[in-house]
Structure 1
Amino acid sequence: MREEDAEELLRKMLDAAIAAADPATVLARHLPEKPAGRCIVVGAGKSAPAMARAVELAWPDVDLSGVVVTRYGHAVPTDRITVREASHPVPDEAGHRAAAEILQTVHRAGPDDLVLALISGGGSALMTLPAPPLTLDDKMQVNRLLLASGLTIEDMNRVRRRLSLIKGGRLAEAAAPARLVTLAISDVPGDDPAAIASGPTVPDPSAGDDLSHLVKRLGPNLPQAARENLLRPPAAQPDFTPDYRMIATPQMSLEAAAHVARAAGITSLLLGDALEGEASQLGVAMAGIARACAAHGTPAKAPAVLLSGGETTVSIGDTRPGRGGRNTEFLLGLALALDGHPGIHALAADTDGIDGTEDAAGAVIGPASLAAAREAGLNPRDYLDGHDSYSLFDQLGALIRTGPTLTNVNDFRAILVL
């Protein structure tokens, strides 16, 4: 294919990945049998309102009510299910109120009722109910420390579950004696139900773990109440077998993108849906694989696209960060490692439409990206060292802005080798 068509193909693959996780098209076929009594819908996450609306459309004849919470700006109109908005990734009072309302709502469910929990990425911060003696301010500080820690999402969720009255299966415990069914959109490596929104409807698999190493990692600014809770032996945990249904996953989205590539005559190589690690260092590793494709035809012969998903991290340390997210940081690390290699283009974006806390989903690069930056008087290495990748790509006109997509299967990365 022509070099000038590379970006268009990359965008089509991203669009296909997002569409494969759209609740409007995938949710209805996963619904359980209709209840004899009411259906009480609760949920949290960036996709929660879109999922709630899909339930309303699928079940117009069911006694339906409930409440879900999402990020500010991600609400969609609903008729019977209340939508609340709150802060993400750092919790706020609105999320605290929404979590309490959700817990109160499921407490009212009876044995003939169905509680339908709609869970998606972002739900952990959006549905915040600290375990005493933690305060909301304590929980906000914990989240800030987690976001800057470089910990894996798995370790972050170990902490979040231990400090919550609603996560780690406690929402499910509150729903008894009603039947509980969870519909989830996975945004985590490995699609672990205990990690999606910190597992409010599944037992906590780390309930008995010693978390002292995570306390040490979070450092001296960890609030004392959080420190004590994390080091204290946990209370008795709910034990049950959940009815948990994945309606969309990163792998499904990668396969949809691969289909687009194959239709264009491009070989697709799926490198995994659960890649983790430092964003910029993953960019360096991916550059090596792309170079091998170009030079040796391994692990795939060009033209080929390398597809991957998962959630990388950005360790800030003592640096005062600029503007950026893990996807733009990945791309900048990739671009520097490729150093203008001909015929290699790449796109990386968060499928929820927001990379970190910025207004872009991610960005796109090509062989000329570094040269364009330098011609504009910009030093790409300085922008990477300052965790300011958004600013660099913004000045290059390379950012991808989708707006909120109302779904979230985490990061999408595509490297096209022509």
Structure 2
Amino acid sequence: MTIDHPERFLRELFDKAVEVADPMAVIPAELPEKPAGRTVVIGAGKASARMAEAVERSWGACEGLVITRYGYARPCEGIEIVEAAHPVPDKAGLDATARMLALLGAVGPDDFVLALISGGASALLVQPAGAITLEEKRAVNAALLASGAPIDRINTLRKHLSRVKGGQLAAAAHPARMLALMISDVPGDDPAFIGSGPTVGDASTAQDALGILSKWNVEVPASVLDVLNGPTGVIPPGDERLSSVENRVIAAPSLSLAAAQEVAEAKGCDVLMLGDAVEGEARDVARDHARQALAIGSDKPTLLLSGGELTVTRRGDGVGGPNAEYALALALALDGAANIHAIACDTDGVDGAADVAGAVIGPDTLARAARAGLDPAGALAINDAHSFFEGLSDQVVPGPTLTNVNDFRAILVQPSA
């Protein structure tokens, strides 16, 4: 047997992965009854506005402030939704974060704070430490994203350059009781790394942060070094200011991959799960996955599923992201192999900094590129995967998905005729 319309099938799997991570589907079951006293809702991330919308669907109008990416706002009755820049922060995020801290500074021991945190919160919660300016913060953030450093290392450094990350947002609300609901976009679903852990203590040190700069050759201004050579504000685990905080992960990559697996198995596929926390350079992971796909021999369709967060080391000035780069490197490694199709997309609808989730490939990708005068190897060399797939009309562009459980990758290997 074979899967008819394989690209349509792969897109159906991606859509299912996004659907099960929709905050409107997962938030209601995680909410307690609305407390009788003062309740303040705060949040940040690409899914946070949708999370706030789901909260008000259950609780009615609430007081609060949530910061999300431009284009990701949702209608709320009482919670103010502010849009700001991602992945490189801007003044809108800076000003909104200052207002959020002021809001938390006014809560007391009898109040309740609901924090809604999802991927993207690192860039959207902006309050630089020390004398670091917004422009310096932006430059460091851009350099980190281009360095190829894993997201957990990037987030460790971000914490020590901030007044809100690494448990500091929760500390600002002490002694109020806080429940933080999180949608995970990080390998391993560690709450300390979701949005750089604004409600979670962290045991890393400023020296650890300096080591990250050194290992990935990230140049920074003197103001950053001044902060890292002194005591930073990151809150250590066990600190009294975190004693009334509960952190809870409510949606994660593993749940979305499991939902896609269920759909695939119902259609007769064997499923090989490669992991929900795959990390590494996008092009290297693609080559490894291509080898695994080419080694499969079965009389049934076989699906290789994976999630996690890949990285891209900038080598050129092209337009791309880790999912598109993975798809392009995969197409090159498969070299037109018959009966193999794939999709690689970010579940938030944004791959890198582009409003494109990713791309699909098939056995004819390289041949079609040749006919269109496109150079896949050249595009990969300068990180120009988005332009390459735009030229083939093979981009996946769902628009804002209002959630974020990171990368979704599926390779479909059909039986030989």
Q: TM-score, normalised by structure 2?
A: 0.95
Indicate the residue corresponding to 1:288 in structure 2. Answer: 291
Q: Structure 2 CA distance, aligned partners of 1:302 and 1:111?
A: 60
Question: In the alignment, is the contact (CA less than 8 A) between 1:211 and 1:230 conserved in 2?
Answer: yes
Residue 250 of structure 1, aligned match among 245, 253, 265? 253
Indicate the residue corresponding to 1:7 in structure 2. Answer: 7
Q: Structure 2 CA distance, aligned partners of 1:196 and 1:237?
A: 16
Q: Structure 2 CA distance, aligned partners of 1:306 and 1:321?
A: 31
3-state SS of paired residue (2:399) = coil
Question: In the alignment, is the contact (CA less than 8 A) between 1:66 and 1:81 conserved in 2?
Answer: yes
Q: Structure 1 CA distance, aligned partners of 2:234 and 2:21?
A: 36
Indicate the residue corresponding to 2:350 in structure 1. Answer: 354
Q: Structure 2 CA distance, aligned partners of 1:116 and 1:143?
A: 28
AA in 2 matched with 1:40:
V
Q: Is 1:267 aligned with 2:276?
A: no
Indicate the residue corresponding to 2:168 in structure 1. Answer: 170
Q: Structure 1 CA distance, aligned partners of 2:76 and 2:33?
A: 22
AA in 1 matched with 2:28:
A
Q: Is the alpha carbon distance of 1:82 and 1:254 closer, same or farther for their aligned partners in structure 2, counting shifts above 3 Å?
A: same
3-state SS of paired residue (2:115) = strand
Q: Is the alpha carbon distance of 1:218 and 1:338 closer, same or farther for their aligned partners in structure 2, counting shifts above 3 Å?
A: closer
Q: Is 1:387 aligned with 2:383?
A: yes
Q: Is 1:51 aligned with 2:51?
A: yes
Indicate the residue corresponding to 1:156 in structure 2. Answer: 154
Q: Is 1:370 aligned with 2:366?
A: yes
CA displacement at 1:359 relative to structure 2: 2.3
CA displacement at 1:235 relative to structure 2: 5.1
Q: Structure 1 CA distance, aligned partners of 2:295 and 2:83?
A: 46
AA in 2 matched with 1:290:
A
Moved more, 75-84 or 229-238: 229-238
3-state SS of paired residue (1:293) = coil
CA displacement at 1:55 relative to structure 2: 0.3
CA displacement at 1:237 relative to structure 2: 2.8
Indicate the residue corresponding to 1:205 in structure 2. Answer: 203
Indicate the residue corresponding to 2:22 in structure 1. Answer: 22
Q: Structure 1 CA distance, aligned partners of 2:340 and 2:278?
A: 21
Q: Structure 2 CA distance, aligned partners of 1:190 and 1:395?
A: 35
- Gaps (5+ residues) in structure 2? none
Indicate the residue corresponding to 1:226 in structure 2. Answer: 224
Q: Structure 1 CA distance, aligned partners of 2:231 and 2:110?
A: 36
Indicate the residue corresponding to 2:32 in structure 1. Answer: 32
CA displacement at 1:217 relative to structure 2: 3.7
Question: In the alignment, is the contact (CA less than 8 A) between 2:7 and 2:360 conserved in 1?
Answer: yes
Please list the CA deviations of residues 239-280 of structure 1 after superposition, one character each: whole Å capped at 9, or x if unmatched: 135411111100000001101101111112211111111101
3-state SS of paired residue (1:341) = coil
Question: In the alignment, is the contact (CA less than 8 A) between 1:36 and 1:112 conserved in 2?
Answer: no
Q: TM-score, normalised by structure 1?
A: 0.94
Percent of residue pairs bearing the same amino acid type: 51
Question: In the alignment, is the contact (CA less than 8 A) between 1:35 and 1:112 conserved in 2?
Answer: no
Q: Structure 2 CA distance, aligned partners of 1:357 and 1:138?
A: 19
Q: Structure 2 CA distance, aligned partners of 1:185 and 1:237?
A: 22
AA in 1 matched with 2:250:
I
3-state SS of paired residue (1:312) = strand
Indicate the residue corresponding to 1:416 in structure 2. Answer: 412
Q: Is the alpha carbon distance of 1:27 and 1:91 closer, same or farther for their aligned partners in structure 2, counting shifts above 3 Å?
A: same
CA displacement at 1:212 relative to structure 2: 2.8
Q: Is 1:396 aligned with 2:392?
A: yes
3-state SS of paired residue (2:192) = coil
Question: In the alignment, is the contact (CA less than 8 A) between 1:38 and 1:64 conserved in 2?
Answer: no
Q: Which runs of 4+ in 1 moved over 4 A?
A: 1-4
- Gaps (5+ residues) in structure 1? none
Q: Structure 2 CA distance, aligned partners of 1:211 and 1:66?
A: 32
Please list the CA deviations of residues 329-357 of structure 1 after superposition, one character each: whole Å capped at 9, or x if unmatched: 00111111111111110000010011111
CA displacement at 1:114 relative to structure 2: 1.0
Q: Matches of residues 41-190 of structure 1 in structure 2 within 5 Å?
A: 41-60=41-60, 64-190=62-188
AA in 1 matched with 2:47:
S
CA displacement at 1:36 relative to structure 2: 2.8
3-state SS of paired residue (1:190) = coil
3-state SS of paired residue (2:235) = coil
Q: Is the alpha carbon distance of 1:263 and 1:3 closer, same or farther for their aligned partners in structure 2, counting shifts above 3 Å?
A: closer
Question: In the alignment, is the contact (CA less than 8 A) between 2:166 and 2:234 conserved in 1?
Answer: no
Aligned CA-pair RMSD: 1.6
AA in 1 matched with 2:143:
L
Q: Structure 1 CA distance, aligned partners of 2:261 and 2:84?
A: 35
CA displacement at 1:64 relative to structure 2: 2.0
AA in 1 matched with 2:86:
H
Please list the CA deviations of residues 156-189 of structure 1 after superposition, one character each: whole Å capped at 9, or x if unmatched: 0111000110111011111112110000000001
3-state SS of paired residue (1:276) = strand
